[in-house]
Amino acid sequence: MTAPAAPSSDAAVAGPTPGTDAEVPEFKRILESISELADDPSVPRNIRRGAQAAKEELSKPRVPRDVRIASAVYVLDDLANDPNLPTHGRTAIWSIISTLESFP
């Protein structure tokens, strides 16, 4: 009886293959929601820049998904505490954070 073959080093790497997250519908919706916030002219410029930064964090290739999500949540949480943020922007950010935190 022979021993099972050891998994190749490629198979042992944790995290998704780069580029596959954009194909997941839920992840795509998250990116679209962040883009809407980044393009909303009723939101202060610093919030729009922060939303763009969160989107860039989520889009980084070769970084494990959990690290990207944690980085984006950190940025978005900081934005949600800005006193100049309109109510609808804060609600949108909380919704995005909630979705990110429940993402598998």
Contact criterion met (CB below 8 Å) for 47 and 75? no
Does residue 79 lie in a domain region? yes
Does residue 4 lie in a domain region? no
CATH (domain of 39): 1.20.1440.50
Q: In total, how many domains does the chain have?
A: 1
Does residue 53 lie in a domain region? yes
Does residue 16 lie in a domain region? no
End-to-end CA distance of the chain: give it in Å, rounded. Answer: 38
pTM beyond 0.85, yes or no: no
Q: Determine the structural domain holding residue 77 and report its residue range.
A: 21-101
Does residue 70 lie in a domain region? yes
- pLDDT digits 0-9 by tens, 28-75: 999 999 999 999 999 999 999 999 999 999 999 899 999 999 999 999
Measured CA to CA, the distance from residue 35 to residue 51 in angstroms comes to 7
